[in-house]
């Protein structure tokens, strides 16, 4: 398990969890057009792009 902070909210998720799924755990909605839960990421439309900062 890893701890990540999303918009000042701490969430603990298994390593390898997609950011979009971690956001759902803390009720943060990321708009998407081409995201399908059971399909590997492709990101063709770019609607769900987020900024990732490492500590």
pLDDT, residue 32, reads 85
User: Pick from 27, 29, 26: which is nearest to 12 by CA?
Assistant: 26
Count of the separate structural domains present in the chain: 1
Is the pLDDT assigned to residue 15 strictly greater than 90?
Answer: yes
| CA-angle at 51, arms to 40 and 29, nearest 5° | 65
Residues 32-46 have pLDDT tens digits of 887 777 777 666 788
pLDDT, residue 23, reads 94
Q: What percent of the chain has pLDDT over 70?
A: 93
Is the pLDDT assigned to residue 20 strictly greater than 80?
Answer: yes
Helices (H), the chain: 19-25
CA 8 to chain centre: 14
pLDDT, residue 16, reads 93
Cα distance between residue 49 and residue 45, in whole Å: 9
What domain range is 28 assigned to? 1-55
**What's the mean pLDDT in 14-43?**
85
Cα distance between residue 22 and residue 37, in whole Å: 13
């Amino acid at each position: 398990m890893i701890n990540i902070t999303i918009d000042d909210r701490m969430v603990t998720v298994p390593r390898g969890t997609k950011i979009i799924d971690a956001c759902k755990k803390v009720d943060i909605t990321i708009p998407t057009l081409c995201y399908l839960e059971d399909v590997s990421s492709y990101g063709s439309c770019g609607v769900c792009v987020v900024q990732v900062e490492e500590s």
